[in-house]
Each structure stands twice: as C-alpha cells, then as structure tokens.
Amino acid sequence: MSYIKLHDISKKFHEEQALGRLNLLIEEGEFVALVGPSGSGKSTMLDIICGFEQSDSGYVAIAGKDVTDLTPKERDVAMVFQNYALFPHMTVAENLAFGMKIRKIAKKERQMKVAEVANLLSLSEYLNKYPKELSGGQKQRVALGRAIVREPKLFLMDEPLSNLDTSLREQMSSEIKKLQKVLSVTTLYVTHSQDEAMLMADKIVVLNKGVIHQVGTPHQIYQQPADLFVASFIGKPK
C-alpha cells in the first residue's frame, strides 16, 4: 500500500484548470521532488494533500485512509514554506516548542525535544535569540525544526529554500536530505530547481499546466524523458 495516493484529483480556480485528473502514488519513507514551471499547480497539489484546499474531484488517501473529511490538523502532516512564518516575539526555543505547548506536552519533555532538535539542526547556540537576530539560513532551520518537533508522518515542503542565496541553498538542501534519511519521513518537496530535484530526490514528479508528464528516478527522468517538455525542462541550463 502506498503512503500517499492521489486519485483523479482536479481543481479549478474561477474556471481555470489548476490541476487536471492527477493520479500519483508515493511510498512510505520516499523523498519525492515535485518540479514544474511557475503556475503549473505544485502549490495547489500540496495544499490539497494537507487540506488547505479541497479538490473538485477525486480523493487523497494518506496511509490508506481517505482524508477528504479531515482538517489539516487531523492529517498528521507538517508544511514548510519559503517564508519562514516564525513568531517574531518568541525566541528560537519558544518557536520550536510552540506546537508542543499547544498540544499540552509537559514542559520537561518540551525542553528535551527542543534541545534534541536544536542539536540536530546546529541551533543549540541560538536558542535564546529572536528571529530578527538570525540569518536567513538559521531562520529556515528554525522553520524546519518546528516541523520536526511535531514528529509528523509526512513533510510537505513548498520551495523552502527559494529565499536563500545559492551557496546556502546547496548546504541546506544537503542538510534536509540527510535529515530526511535519518528521520525517514515521507517527504514531498516542491522546487523550481531541477538541480535540487536531481540531487535530493528518490523520485521526481514533473508537472506542467496541472498535468503530470513523468514520474521517475532522477536517472530515468534525465536519461529517458517521457516527452519534449520533460526533456527541455530538465535539460535547461541552471
């Protein structure tokens, strides 16, 4: 049984087709990169999986269960966005602990978890700092940390590194990849960078105009592009 199943998912916004009859299977523990030009429907697909948007047709199943009637909270999914959405008036430690506080996890346990995740993300020295005192990369680490402390079954990341400069992106993308392997959390990672997808993903999904053109390993996508669109999109220079 696949961990995520998208079955016949369509979505229109004001008569414009954002997604057209998508079918996709993602296996447990897989790192899947979703690539495609701007406006191809990548964010819409993530929003439908996490429950921010409802599809017009079809259904999403997570771990074998149709989640159509579940709220985003009930889906056990953590989203990471490009705008870090940290609380400016809270320290790094408080930002990391926030989700656990809401879930009424005991203080002692919260502190242990924060220390563990801070260590994992090289944030231990910054726990008492405020977001405005951090660099872009550090802020993005805190955002990731906030997702990790929730111990979700599924990570959905929507271009999480696109606000960072190139060298930081490269560093962070390899860190995210390592973390994903350590935690072995099923991850769907949206990027408009073909290079990032090729380096990070177990499987790449190529989307254009709301339609999936190809699903395959980086090797397959590169060596045997399914059509001209995939060939030119993947082959594009950086």
Question: Which residue's CB atom is positioned nearest to Mg ion?
Answer: 43
Please say whether the dihedral angle defined by the alpha carbons of residues 46, 14, 209 and 173, taken in this order, is positive or negative.
Answer: negative
Rounded least distance, CB 41 to Mg ion, Å: 8
Angle of CA points 198, 204, 205, to nearest 5°: 140
d(CA 120, CA 179): 8
Quick one: which segment of 11-19, 23-31, 105-113, 194-202 binds ligand ADP (CB under 6 A)?
Answer: 11-19
160 lies in the site for ligand ADP, by CB under 6 A: no
Among 18, 22, 41, 43, binds Mg ion (CB under 5 A): 43
Q: Is 13 in the site for ligand ADP (CB under 6 A)?
A: yes
Q: Give yes or no for residue 193 binding ligand ADP (CB under 6 A).
A: no
Taking the complex as a whole, the smallest distance from the CB of residue 182 to Mg ion amounts, in Å, to 27
Separation CA 193–CA 210 (nearest Å)? 18
Instruction: Output 16 or 69, the one with its CB closest to ligand ADP.
Output: 16
Residue 213 binding ligand ADP, by CB under 6 A: no
Q: Tell me the two tokens of residue 103.
A: 């879930």
Q: Is 58 in the site for ligand ADP (CB under 6 A)?
A: no
Angstrom distance (rounded) from CA 22 to CA 149: 31
Using rule CB under 6 A, residue 36 touches ligand ADP:
yes
Rounded Cα distance, 7 and 24, in Å: 7
